[in-house]
Amino acid sequence: MLIKGPKNGEDMKQKLKKTYKDFITHFGYAPNFPNNIDFNQDEYAGYLRKCIEDNFDYTIEKYGTKPPKHFGRAKILVD
């Protein structure tokens, strides 16, 4: 059973949302979410935070995240 309230549900959502945005800002792409619908958001947010702190994306192996193949600036073509 999911417990929602100002202290439980909303705080965890905000923590995950902030950490998820930080991950995207740090790595430049979005990580995959766990397959379970009722996953532990606090644990997942901690996992994303560890990725950011270690500067290594552990979600590639654990959740199947596929980073983009091309990094860097887009090339501008002029006719």
Task: Give the pLDDT of residue 74.
Answer: 56
pTM of this prediction exceeds 0.75:
no
**Model confidence over 4-60: pLDDT tens digits?**
445 555 666 888 999 999 999 999 999 998 888 888 888 999 999 999 999 999 999
- What was the pLDDT predicted at 11? 67
Helix 9-27 crosses helix 41-54 at what angle (to 10 degrees)? 30
Q: How many domains does the chain have?
A: 1
pLDDT reported for residue 5: 45
| Containing structural domain, residue 59 | 1-79
